[in-house]
């Protein structure tokens, strides 16, 4: 079987499962299956998917319907998961997948934090799979994109701030100087999303986000800086590993989609990525740790050789996705902190 065949088989096995389970946990099945294929572990995908599927809930049914005229008023309404997915599927039936993406990505971008960024990450994995598929992509891949976008819309979550990317600081120091939420401040709901709902209580978050000015206006280069800064936080801190993991995997997912976006939307996507990374750091990274600014030098060959097999053996969906993203980003920038962060993160998460 080709890698594309393995992924299609995984999506078929996951057919009929919902975007969330246990009330708020994201269905990582499609994302992790695609990441396993990319790290060369296609042979384990059927077994991994079959085991993971036992945790999942059935797909929700539509409740009321969403129309072209009223979609804005239903953004972020998680009661309408089934309606949002049905709406995006209808759009997917009417246009090529790239047109679908280009219609909905700018609409959903202000709510990039949706489901602790799982909406954008699932969308991005689908986009990569579609780009690597034959010229006439299988309907399962197109449907996966529709499900990712629908999931994002239903959990749409704006964050405070409107960063202009024109500040005086580099990404590492802008991140380190962000104000932090008091650890005793109660969250508004479970998980990362519940904590992000109260990050607006942090005094000075907007000006803190305005402090970053990328060294280049090229979105890919700006994301290099942002992902590198997020990796330093992830490597340094063990207090909220899942949250800090998403500070790396979310902007790394955005990078996968940049080739499909206009220049203006790509730049806006960098700003939204920084807003999410900054929101996660402000919400979870108190008290400050001076190691958040430190790059970690190591022998990359020894880590690269063992990171992927260890992630496969570990089996946790976050470990798999982060390992794939960290390796991909390291091969682009040579920043060994990415590899160290992935290695340390694996030790902070219980195996599947």
- Rounded to the nearest 10 degrees, the angle between the axes of helix 97-108 and helix 263-284 is 50
0.85 surpassed by pTM: yes
Q: Which pLDDT score, from 0 to 100, does residue 344 have?
A: 98
**Is the confidence at residue 120, as pLDDT, over 90?**
yes
42 shares its domain with 142: yes
165 shares its domain with 109: no
**Is the confidence at residue 135, as pLDDT, over 90?**
no
125 shares its domain with 168: no
**Is the confidence at residue 136, as pLDDT, over 90?**
no
139 shares its domain with 166: no
In degrees, to the nearest 5, what angle opens at C-alpha 156 toward C-alphas 326 and 22?
75
10 shares its domain with 141: yes
Q: Which pLDDT score, from 0 to 100, does residue 352 have?
A: 80
Mean pLDDT of 296-316: 95
307: domain range? Answer: 161-352
Domain end (from 154, 179, 204)? 154
Cβ–Cβ < 8 Å for 210, 167: yes
242 shares its domain with 327: yes
Question: Greatest CA span in the chain, whole angstroms?
Answer: 56
**Is the confidence at residue 192, as pLDDT, over 90?**
yes
**Is the confidence at residue 1, as pLDDT, over 90?**
no
Domain end (from 154, 176, 192)? 154
Q: pLDDT tens digits for 269-284?
A: 999 999 999 999 999 9
Q: Work out the burial of residue 299: count CB atoms within 10 Å of its CB; fewer than 13 is exposed, 13-18 middle, 19 or more buried.
A: exposed
334 shares its domain with 229: yes
Mean pLDDT of 151-156: 98
331 shares its domain with 184: yes
Mean pLDDT, the chain, rounded, equals: 97
18 shares its domain with 99: yes
Domain end (from 154, 178, 198)? 154
The domain total for the chain is 2
Q: Work out the burial of residue 103: count CB atoms within 10 Å of its CB; fewer than 13 is exposed, 13-18 middle, 19 or more buried.
A: middle
131 shares its domain with 179: no
110 shares its domain with 9: yes
223 shares its domain with 281: yes
Q: Which pLDDT score, from 0 to 100, does residue 260 have?
A: 98
């Amino acid at each position: 079987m080709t890698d594309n065949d393995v992924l299609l088989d995984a999506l078929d096995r996951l057919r009929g499962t919902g975007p969330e389970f246990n009330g708020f946990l994201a269905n990582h099945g499609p994302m992790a299956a695609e990441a396993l294929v990319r790290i060369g572990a296609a042979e384990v995908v059927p077994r991994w998917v079959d085991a993971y599927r036992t945790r999942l809930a059935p797909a929700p049914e539509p409740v009321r319907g969403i129309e072209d005229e009223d979609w804005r008023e239903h953004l972020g309404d998680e009661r309408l998961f089934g309606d949002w997915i049905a709406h995006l599927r209808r759009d997917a039936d009417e246009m090529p997948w790239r047109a679908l993406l280009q219609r909905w990505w700018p609409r959903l971008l202000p709510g990039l934090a949706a489901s602790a960024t799982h909406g954008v990450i699932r969308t991005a994995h689908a986009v990569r799979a579609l780009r690597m598929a034959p010229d006439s992509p299988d309907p399962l891949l197109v449907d996966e994109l529709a499900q990712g976008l629908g999931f994002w819309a239903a959990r749409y979550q704006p964050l405070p701030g409107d960063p202009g990317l024109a500040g005086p600081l580099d990404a590492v120091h802008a991140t380190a100087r962000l104000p932090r939420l008091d650890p005793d401040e109660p969250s508004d709901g479970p998980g990362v999303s519940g904590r992000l709902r109260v990050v607006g209580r942090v005094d000075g978050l907007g000006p803190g986000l305005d402090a970053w000015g990328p060294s280049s206006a090229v979105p890919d280069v700006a994301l290099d800086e942002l992902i590198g800064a997020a990796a330093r936080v992830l490597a340094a801190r063990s207090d909220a590993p899942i949250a800090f993991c998403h500070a790396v995997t979310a902007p790394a997912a955005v990078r996968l989609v940049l080739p499909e976006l206009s220049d203006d939307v790509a730049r806006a996507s960098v700003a939204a990525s920084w807003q999410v990374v900054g929101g996660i750091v402000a919400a979870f990274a108190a008290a400050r740790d001076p190691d958040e600014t430190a790059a970690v030098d190591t022998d990359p060959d020894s880590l690269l050789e063992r990171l992927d097999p260890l992630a496969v053996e570990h089996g946790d969906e976050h470990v798999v996705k982060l390992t794939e993203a960290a390796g991909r980003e390291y091969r682009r920038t040579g920043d060994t902190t990415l590899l160290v962060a992935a290695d340390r993160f694996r030790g902070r998460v219980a195996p599947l």
